[in-house]
Chains A and B, each alone.
Chain A
């Protein structure tokens, strides 16, 4: 079973006023363990596609199955639950809860799921270890650099063991050293633990690191290449 299965996805914004065809018939299948970049120039529909895959938005037409479930049929609150269990999000910015510490942020979704404390503590410790932020576990996000914040976001996203991590331009606000560092961590998690990553970017240095590169052009899939 594929983790993500999209068939003929279309998305029209403002269908009644000034229609924008953001997606025009996208077919995409992503298997477990992939490390896939969705690339394309600004306005090509990357965010729209990831939002639909992540259950944050609904397609105008087409089918989207995540972990075997057709998510377009879920209600808003069911979608929130689905995202909480199945998908780890890393956004471009505003990923973390500013009033919580690094450890509390990492723990947050597990808390929503009412996981036992021992399990949470263990998981937080191992995740912060793997993103290299164990010493920062008691500081607030505002005391971290942008790159460190994105690493916490990755840890937070991974905590509840989602089916995959969805990251919309995770390096857009980072300098190249931080971007490369974040990619290192993502790569390592993918290689060592088989975590599935789907991320969008238009940064060529990031594109080079992806194993599979799906190019979007005007809301359609242009090329779909496996690298290395």
Chain B
């Protein structure tokens, strides 16, 4: 009965209720859009990072991540690759030979990470070839080709087909230098990595790494064994949801190897997510504050306007608890009509925009620096909608308390006498 009265009371002052409902709904709409948008940024950022750089899982020698020293390598790479490729969850896998060193032109030199890739499998994991903006990806028959970013090319003042020298320590700790020809210039859109990575073919790098390590008395088998090394194995999965499952499988398959998922590989992803979450929370709280005052104001009007009626209700035996819950319910009804409306509109907007995306190229320079692509696709997220719904629920509940308290404080005699 109280529910029935409360619900009907909401519609007594149709215009006023409609205005509040609309205001809340528009707020919820805007909020759900803004949050979907920021979710989209996060999602794009993470999925770009996974696709272009991190892949879902990586294998290293346990000491490699700390030192980045080539001597911490993985053995039996071929066998490992074959084993991983067989897992049903795995889309593609590739091995990399990595050395830390220097790239120098006739003019100048820079410290870089030299990444030796298998041109075939690397394409399947990171699609690195699509970042080539000038020149070509690795040609199978040519030796000592290097791919450098446009930024590094500018800094070294070299062009396509220029010769540059890569210097690094080989596995015996000796400094080795080798001349490479610039086969292509790339631009990944992420300045941070463009500045520090150059790419060569794994075979070329491995040959140089191992140049002096083959001892005169080693057998052919040893040599073969020692050549089957890599510093990194990167795995791209068919479905990102299987990451933790595949991770534990890999851990038990290769107990001496460090298996990390993209989360562990890139602490900035976590930092990024925390920051986005914090700012989302702040946005929600600001929104709630704005709503609270709007709702309190409306409900106070509704209570004061019905002073006599409330006095009569108390006179004929409706106790304070019931009056209180009636006002709370009325307020909650406002919210529960408005929230689905706003969320529905938000859903529709995001649904329509999620494939088109929002082009931010006007601000892209700033974003690219952080590896964020320039078109943002807002992301529909059930959890987000739940959070907004809960926020509206809490807001309306809080907003109802003061008017409800005001209502139960009235004395029926006085209320009935007011004209």
Stretch in A107-115, A128-136, A183-191, A201-209 with 4+ CB within 8 Å of B: A107-115
DSSP majority for the B interface? helix
CB–CB A95/B320 < 8 A? no
Q: Which residues of A contact B315 (CB under 8 A)?
A: 54, 56, 83, 89, 91
Number of interface residues of A (CB under 8 A): 26
Flag B4-29 by CB within 8 Å of A: 1 or 0 each. 11001100100000000000000000
Interface residue stretch chosen among A34-42, A62-70, A73-81, A212-220: A73-81
Report if A85 contacts B (CB, 8 A).
Answer: yes
Indicate the member of B314, B315, B320, B412 with the most A CB atoms within 10 Å: B315
Residues of the A chain whose Cβ atoms lie less than 8 Å from the Cβ of B311 = 94
> In the complex, are the beta carbons of A94 and B319 less than 8 A apart?
no
- Assuming the contacts A80-B320, A99-B8, A112-B322, asked whether A91 and B309 have C-beta atoms less than 8 A apart, the reply is no
Does A51 belong to the interface (CB within 8 Å)?
yes
Q: CB distance B317 to A85 under 8 Å?
A: yes
In A80-131, the 8 Å CB interface with B consists of 80-81, 83-85, 89, 91, 94-95, 97-100, 104, 108-109, 111-112
CB distance from B322 to the nearest CB of A (A): 7
A77 CA to B322 CA in the complex, in Å?
Answer: 11
Cβ of B220 < 8 Å from any Cβ of A?
Answer: no
The reply to whether the CB of A61 lies closer than 8 angstroms to some CB of chain B is no
The contact of A91 among B1, B314, B416, by CB within 8 Å, is B416
Report chain A residues within 8 Å CB of B4.
100, 104
B8: chain A residues within 8 A (beta carbon): 99-100
Contacting pair A80 B319 (CB below 8 A): yes
Partner of A80, one of B1, B318, B413, B416: B318
Candidates B5, B312, B320, B322; contact of A94 at CB < 8 Å: B312
Would you give the shortest CB distance from A50 to chain B, in whole angstroms?
Answer: 10
Q: Is the CB of B320 within 8 A of A76?
A: yes
* B362 at the binding interface (Cβ < 8 Å): no
Asked whether B313 lies within 8 Å of A94 as measured between CB atoms, the reply is: no
Contact B320–A99 (Cβ < 8 Å): no
Could you give 24 example pairs across A and B, Cβ below 8 Å?
Answer: A56-B315, A56-B413, A57-B413, A77-B320, A80-B317, A80-B318, A80-B320, A81-B319, A83-B315, A83-B316, A85-B317, A91-B312, A91-B315, A91-B416, A94-B308, A95-B312, A98-B12, A98-B309, A99-B9, A100-B4, A100-B5, A108-B1, A109-B316, A109-B317
Residue numbers of B with Cβ under 8 A of A are: 1, 4-5, 8-9, 12, 308-309, 311-320, 322, 412-413, 416
